[in-house]
Structure 1
Amino acid sequence: MTHVHNGEIRAVIIDVDDTLCLTEAACFALENEVLELIGATPIERSVHRATWGQPLLTALPIRSPGVDLARFVAAYPPVLGRYVADGLLDAIVPENLRALDDLAAAGRAVYVLTSRTEEEMRHLLAPDHALAGRVRGVFHADNTSFGKPDPRAFDEFLAQTGLPPSACVYVGDSPGDADASLGAGLRFIACLQSGVRDRADFAGRAVDAYVPAFPDVVTAVADLELHPIAT
């Protein structure tokens, strides 16, 4: 069946990792530091990149076979806190914040939807964080029933906002992001800034637009309104 996406884009939903901020390299170092603390097998970079985009505790047994997840979970928060405090993780650059402001100025509601847990998002949800006032809502593993790549990852977002999927676009960096959003009827923009993936990784998926850097999302969203795409 052919679907034609047209009309106003009222909401832009954004992934966190390697979309809103570049994090794969930092997470690779962070996870290996925690694994060293608990005496577990370190992760190879190729394996980390291949499983990037999966929820951490889902990917970890693949990244570090035999890892004791309970010990990892106990050792993880202090290391995560230090990485955040030292500016090594989740630093959102000013041009990305300006892009969020530009989306809002164009009349678009901005949301975040991520596979992270609430614990992993806690610092980004703080009332004094730069994201405060810039996003209407944040959907994560602890307030949604399903995770990407399941299209039902958007169930709570669609139910709470009352928006039709055709009026929404999701911005992410992985094929799983594309599968979830397109399967739910949303449009999808692939952000390739991290270099972890390229267009070939999205083969067979009706991606609406590719952007080389996150700030290009502003123009890409406007172009989608002007040039409907049949999928």
Structure 2
Amino acid sequence: MIRAVVIDVDDTLCLTEAACFGLENDVLARLGRGPMSRAVHLSTWGQPLLDAMPRRSPGLDLEAFAAVHQIVLREYVAAGLLDVVARENLHALDELAAAGRSVMLLTSRTEAEVEHLLAPDHALAGRVAAVYHAGNMRFRKPDGRAFDELLAATGLEPRQCLYVGDSPGDAQAANGAGLRFIACLQSGLRRRADFGSHQVDAFIGTFPEIVDAVTRLEAVATPQPLQVEPRSGA
């Protein structure tokens, strides 16, 4: 049985690239710097924020950026401009839980970048069993060891877990840890061909499709009892 469904945040559970592009350019403007292009943002999307910013804005003072980013992040969250989890996605999480699966998040975001998702009044409260982020993981994606803490804490075998993400780096991490992987293509930023060098167990076009996809994968992985036709009496 697939006991745990582990989910990436950005462009998987919620669509965020466009919102983050606006947010980060807002931060740059408050620091008196010019905006980055959408092309450079897309080319570095999926990398940890402070790893990507030197390419997005060469010469940037990362410490100053991080301080202002926290202020603007809170403003965007409060205004409903970032990390909005669609109702149908929340319903999908409920369906996964109703099927006896533990739902967890695993992201390369820092603790400060996910603290609002951990709030007791957030829609994810009670739906997510654990959140793994850069603050409580020794390794980050695409390193397969990013799942070390999760596997140690749950005692689950890798094949009892499944990771859902949107990037080849997500696939690489899951493959490296021995987890099954489902690629979510809802953002439209990536195509099947982008995952060509990685093992992908299923592709889904929208996040709510995860419920049926997990059920199908579990059925394939579970040996079916041999059906023996009863013999007629002699």
Separation in 2 of the partners of 1:120 and 1:126?
Answer: 12
Match runs of 1:171-190 below 5 Å:
171-190=164-183
Root-mean-square deviation (CA, aligned residues, Å) is 1.1
- Tell me the amino acid that sits aligned with residue 139 of structure 1: Y
User: Aligned partners of 1:119, 1:204: CA distance in 2, in Å?
Assistant: 33
Q: Which residue of 2 aligns with 1:58?
A: 51
Question: For the Cα contact (< 8 Å) 1:165–1:185, is it kept in 2?
Answer: yes
Displacement of 1:228 in angstroms is 3.5
Distance 2:113 2:121 in 1: 17
TM-score (ref. length: structure 2): 0.93
Query: Does the alignment pair 1:93 with 2:86?
Result: yes
1:99-121 per-residue CA deviation (whole Å, 9 max, x = no partner) reads 00000001100000001111111
The structure 1 segments of at least 4 consecutive aligned residues displaced by more than 6 Å after TM superposition are: none
Task: Indicate the residue corresponding to 2:188 in structure 1.
Answer: 195
- Secondary structure (helix, strand or coil) at the match of 1:122 reads helix
- The match for 1:5 is none
Q: How do 1:154-169 and structure 2 match up within 5 A?
A: 154-169=147-162
Structure number with greater CO (CA < 8 Å, separation at least 6) is 1
1:209 maps onto 2:202 in alignment: yes
Quick check: 220-229 or 73-82, which moved more?
220-229
Q: In structure 2, how many angstroms separate the alpha carbons of the residues matched to 1:43 and 1:177?
A: 25
Deviation, 1:40, is 2.8
| Distance in 2 separating the partners of 1:113 and 1:66 | 30
**Percent identity of the aligned residues?**
66
How many residue pairs get aligned? The number is 222
Q: 1:146 matched to which residue of 2?
A: 139
User: 1:119-130 residue pairs with structure 2 within 5 A?
Assistant: 119-130=112-123
Distance 1:165 1:41 in 2: 45
What does residue 20 of structure 1 align with? 13
TM-score with structure 1 setting the length: 0.94
What stretches of structure 2 of length at least 5 have no aligned partner? 223-234
Q: What SS does the corresponding residue of 2:183 show, helix, strand or coil?
A: strand
Give the conservation status (yes or no) of the 8 Å contact 1:41–1:65: no
User: 1:154 Cα shift?
Assistant: 0.5
